[in-house]
Amino acid sequence: MNNFELLMQGFHTAFSLINLTVAIGGGILGLLVGATPGLGGVTGVALLLPMTFKMDPTTAIIFLSAIYFGNMYGGAYSGILLNIPGDSPAVMTALDGYPMSKQGKGGKALFAANVSSFVGGTFGIITLTIFGPVLANIGLKFGPAEITALILLALTSIGWLLGEEFSKGIVAAALGILLSTIGIDSMAGGMPRYTFGTVTLMGGISFIPLVIGMFGMTQVMELMKTKEKDSLTTGRRLSVRESLLDKSDVKRISLPILKGSVLGNFIGFLPGAGGTAASFLAYVFDKKTSKHGKDMGKGMIEGVAVSESANNAAAVGAFVPLLCLGIPGSATAVVLFGGLMMWGLQPGPLLFVEQSEFVWGLIGSMYIGNVACILIGLMIIPFLMSILKIPKGIIAPMIVVICIVGAYSINNSMFDVWFMIGAGVIAFILKNNNYPIPPILLAFVLAPMFEQSIRRAFTISNGSPLIFFQKPISAVLLGLTIFFLLSPLLVSVITKRKNRICEEKN
Amino acid sequence: MKRMIFSAILVLFVAGFGFANGQTEEGADSYPSKTIEFVVPASPGGGSDTLGRLLTDIIQKNDLVDGNIVVVNKPGGASAVGQQYVLGRDGNYTLFTMNAAHALAARANSGIDSMKFTPVAAVAMDNVLFLTGADSGYRSIDDVVSAAKGKPNQLTVGVADNLDQLCVAQINKSAGIELKGVYYDSASESNAALLGGHIDFSIANPNECIGQVRSGDIVPLATFNNERLEAPFADAPTFQELGYSDVEFQMFRSVMGGAGMSEEVQKFWSDVFAQVVETEQWKTQYIEKKMLDPKFMPADEYGPYHRQAAKRLQQDAQDIGLFD
């Protein structure tokens, strides 16, 4: 049987009444969990996992993958509406989504987020269906040296993030790097760094309280600064019709969605990367390579599209190494890995052969889960939009409550709540002095990945930098990095020469 | 009048306090009289979490304890954050998961004295394997030793924590070679690096590599246990068989109680877990599935064992300079 026939059989499995019911139920549950800041995909799936032990394995994984997909959709909503990203990949969505809400285009942003999530997710599922095992093996080629080179390449294109004042951007990025180094250094026998002897700091700073503080709390303080009593959209009523995407919108978002899907999916199946890095890098890539790039971050629909398509494509990408190799590529995949064993399946390269009904049932259910999520997502847009009509005096305290609950729930720790509030205050001061916030978060996500990869590479090579040039993939990536770094110089040399030739001609 | 109201409130308050206090006083027959916290010093989804949730599930399904148990995740600092949290709770009503890796990590990192906690029971022993990739060209430990002789720090072993690093040190010491540990976040990450050919060897528990071993992508070269494991690991010899008699390790997984847990309560829980390990659910969902050794130690046996094991781990770690 070829893949197509197997998939059809998978659909047959997935289309039973019970499986459809759990797909829709899981989708709704996932949307709710995803939209709640602090409760991300990992926690959601981990907490609901025991519920599934009595189910048939296929039904169980359909339920969990619907929750997982719902999560990826839901994370965007609170980011767009309240500027509190529901999960970490939604940070980049909020960068453009929230300004859109303020401009009265919140409905459009939600619509675009749903559509992009759907396309990104579907793209990921199709590549999984056709190329699964091949892709998994390409992902394995990315070891410490290759990942280091990949991050270096990405870093060449983030100059824009630093904002108008270069030095302030550097300060912000340095702050992000500093925060990310706090905690136990797992690479050196568990040496604590910057913990000042306290046990609380040993666990390090969690990303979610940092983001909730720097986005949500700062948001509330901004709201309190102004004296208007209006709602976020200054009282204007939003109609559902306004939020539909018209032809020009579709045209604007189709290319970013394609970029986000391809890049996000690729990063998803690299070992140890994940949805957050995927949406960051796809956003940066789109900003660098498109005409609208310079306006991104000010409420461009393209920003929402590229970030959402990337993180959904990455979410599916993480399934590729899990199903094909038995190696979980993301935190949520680790939980599902545990689930597979509990249902009596053995994750590994033989899963496709020995449990083909299960695997194809799962892949079939991914298509169904994704369709269920977009239908639910589109239907609740009018309800979500009513949030935008709530007056500021009421919405501000509500946001504070959501922030506190979200920060607490990530590690069940009061420290995280205080840290979140502190981060909010500091971000507010920084923002009002023109220090940009995004570099802090980007540095916080990328710095640990970069540090671990480069240190692993140097451990393997006994400190010799040659390892980066001996491996073909990393050599190519480093070559590109150097090219991009030198390109402004080359451009100026060429234009100078041209000018000189022109002058000589005259 | 005001004064009267004030003193009335005061009386009520004191009475209430006394009453509440009376409730928490431990009588052996009334235990437990409030909710028990089962702390998992790690994130949801990991090995400790699976263990903690399975244990409470079995206890509640079989009505082994007449009371409520909640699982609380306190991740961070290689279990240090969770252990610090336990120190601040009521010792009689707090349990948490412990294992050899945590016993090694927490004390070294924070000066938390794990002897303050109350050993309750060891529930299983986990095995450790030395692995290589199918295409690496190494077919036996002899291959490894002869390749590594005279080439110090050239061959790499993926390790997920200090405990794995100790296992590498045992081999190095016994065979007179210098394999080099490369830290990864988890065994599955180091297995991925092994499959990609970025490292030469890796260290993992059976359940962390069984899928790849069955498919033949990863080959177990030896086990640190002193008996061979079952299929598909049966072909892997023990280090003892191969003549490396001082290379031996098994990782305990256990449950500890909070600081100052009374002896009756300690006995109570030890008996509860003795019943847990007899259930069918425990045997099929944990021991068989994760390929563990079903070794149970009650409190009186596990206590001295824990003290000794923790001490030895610390000593070994110091000997190889892990904390320098």
Contacts of A67 (CB under 8 A, 6+ apart): A26, A27, A29, A30, A33, A41, A44, A45, A48
Cβ neighbours around B228 below 10 Å, total: 14
Dihedral, CA of residue A64, residue A70, residue A75 and residue A81, to nearest 10: -150
Q: Is residue B148 part of a domain?
A: yes
Q: Is residue B82 part of a domain?
A: yes
Q: Indicate if the pLDDT at residue A369 is higher than 80.
A: yes
Cis amide prior to A397 (ω within 30 degrees): no
Are B97 and B115 in a shared domain?
yes
pLDDT in tens, A176-206: 999 999 988 877 667 788 888 787 788 788 8
Give the separation between CA A279 and CA B15, rounded to whole angstroms: 59
User: Bridge partners of B39?
Assistant: B72, B96
Q: Tell me the shortest Cα–Cα distance from A240 to chain B, in angstroms.
A: 39
Give the separation between CA A48 and CA A342, rounded to whole angstroms: 13
Q: Return the residue matching tokens 């989708």.
A: A27
Cβ–Cβ below 8 Å for B44 and A342: no
B92, B261 Cβ separation under 8 angstroms = yes
Q: Does A199 touch chain B (CB under 8 A)?
A: yes
Q: Indicate if the pLDDT at residue A355 is higher than 70.
A: yes
Which string of DSSP letters, residue by residue, matches B41-103? SS-TTSHHHHHHHHHHHHHHHTT-SSS-EEEEE---GGGHHHHHHHHTS-GGGEEEEEEHHHH
Are B151 and B88 in a shared domain?
no
Structure-block tokens of residue A273:
């990367």
pLDDT in tens, A107-131: 889 989 999 999 999 999 999 888 8
Are B207 and B135 in a shared domain?
yes
Q: Indicate if the pLDDT at residue A1 is higher than 60.
A: no
**CATH number of the structural domain spanning residue B315:** 3.40.190.150
Range of the domain at B263: 33-125+251-319
Which residue among B84, B161, B211 places its CB closest to the CB of A349? B211
pLDDT category, B26, cuts 50, 70, 90?
very low
Which A-chain residues 394-433 have CB contacts (< 8 A) with chain B? 411-413
Cβ–Cβ below 8 Å for B214 and A346: yes
Q: Is residue B237 part of a domain?
A: no
Q: Strand B94-99: give its sheet, edge to edge.
A: B69-73, B36-40, B94-99, B251-257, B118-126
Structure-block tokens of residue B290:
């994760």
Strands B156-159 and B201-204: parallel
Q: Does A334 touch chain B (CB under 8 A)?
A: yes
Which string of DSSP letters, residue by residue, matches A453-465? HHHHHHHHTTT-T
B218, B196 Cβ separation under 8 angstroms = no
Which residue among A144, A337, A348 places its CB closest to the CB of B198? A144
User: Bridge partners of B156?
Assistant: B180
Q: Indicate if the pLDDT at residue A264 is higher than 80.
A: yes
Q: Does A448 touch chain B (CB under 8 A)?
A: no
Q: Indicate if the pLDDT at residue A53 is higher than 90.
A: no
Are B121 and B255 in a shared domain?
yes
Q: Does A149 touch chain B (CB under 8 A)?
A: no
Q: Does B75 touch chain A (CB under 8 A)?
A: yes
Which of A160-174, A436-450, A451-465, B34-48 has the largest mean confidence?
A: A451-465
Query: What integer pLDDT is reported at residue A38 of this predicted model?
Result: 65
User: In the predicted model, what is the mean pLDDT of residues A146-171?
Assistant: 78
Structure-block tokens of residue A364:
């079939």
Cβ–Cβ below 8 Å for A341 and B76: no
Considering the entire predicted model, what is its pTM? 0.80
pLDDT category, B14, cuts 50, 70, 90?
very low
Q: Is residue B229 part of a domain?
A: no
Q: Where are the beta strands (DSSP E) in A168-286?
A: 183-185, 191-193
Are B306 and B259 in a shared domain?
yes
Q: Tally the C-alpha atoms within 13 A of residue A32's C-alpha that lie toward its C-beta.
A: 5
Q: Indicate if the pLDDT at residue B96 is higher than 50.
A: yes
Query: What integer pLDDT is reported at residue B108 of this predicted model?
Result: 55
Q: Does B195 touch chain A (CB under 8 A)?
A: yes
Give the separation between CA A175 and CA A171, rounded to whole angstroms: 6
Q: Does B105 touch chain A (CB under 8 A)?
A: yes
Set of chain A residues whose Cβ sits within 8 Å of the Cβ of B184: 456
Are B73 and B88 in a shared domain?
yes
Set of chain B residues whose Cβ sits within 8 Å of the Cβ of A325: 192, 195, 212, 217
Domain boundary pick from B181, B203, B223: B223
Give the separation between CA A60 and CA A67, rounded to whole angstroms: 11
Dihedral, CA of residue A466, residue A468, residue A470 and residue A476, to nearest 10: -140
Dihedral, CA of residue A362, residue B195, residue A452 and residue A169, to nearest 10: -60
Q: Is residue B295 part of a domain?
A: yes
Are B112 and B259 in a shared domain?
yes
User: Bridge partners of B125?
Assistant: B252, B293
Q: Alpha helices, DSSP H only, in A164-211?
A: 166-181, 207-211
- The DSSP H or E segment spanning B201 is strand B201-204
Q: Tell me the shortest Cα–Cα distance from B57 to chain A, in angstroms.
A: 9
Q: Which CB contacts under 8 angstroms, 24+ apart, belong to A413-420? A: A413/A200, A413/B74, A413/B81, A415/A200, A416/A206, A416/A209, A417/A209, A419/A205, A419/A209, A419/A210, A419/A213, A420/A209, A420/A210, A420/A212, A420/A213, A420/A217
Cβ–Cβ below 8 Å for B196 and A143: yes
Q: Does A189 touch chain B (CB under 8 A)?
A: yes
Of A86-100, A443-457, B103-117, B191-205, the one with minimum mean pLDDT is B103-117
Q: How many domains does chain B have?
A: 2
Are B104 and B134 in a shared domain?
no
This complex has an ipTM of 0.78
**CATH number of the structural domain spanning residue B151:** 3.40.190.10
User: Which residue of A lies nearest to B102 if distances are taken between CA atoms?
Assistant: A190
Q: Which of A182, A320, A456 to mutate to test binding with chain B, by most B CBs within 10 Å of its CB? A: A456
The sign of the dihedral angle between the CA atoms of B74, B78, B79, B84 is negative
Which residue among B57, B186, B195 places its CB closest to the CB of A325? B195
Set of chain A residues whose Cβ sits within 8 Å of the Cβ of B158: none
Q: Is residue B239 part of a domain?
A: no
Cα separations in angstroms, B262 against A66, B28, B55, B189, B297: 46, 10, 21, 42, 19
Which residue among A184, A200, A460 places its CB closest to the CB of B182? A460
User: Bridge partners of B181?
Assistant: B157
Q: Is residue B10 part of a domain?
A: no
Q: Is residue B138 part of a domain?
A: yes
B144, B155 Cβ separation under 8 angstroms = yes
Set of chain B residues whose Cβ sits within 8 Å of the Cβ of A45: 45
Structure-block tokens of residue B178:
């210098």
Cα separations in angstroms, B106 against A238, B97, B110, B320: 55, 13, 6, 18
Which A-chain residues 242-271 have CB contacts (< 8 A) with chain B? 271
Give the separation between CA A253 and CA A261, rounded to whole angstroms: 12
Set of chain A residues whose Cβ sits within 8 Å of the Cβ of B288: none
Cβ–Cβ below 8 Å for B78 and A271: no
Amino acid present at A110: L
Cβ–Cβ below 8 Å for A349 and B212: yes
pLDDT category, B319, cuts 50, 70, 90?
confident
Query: What integer pLDDT is reported at residue B312 of this predicted model?
Result: 87
Contacts of A379 (CB under 8 A, 6+ apart): none
Which B-chain residues 228-257 have CB contacts (< 8 A) with chain A? none
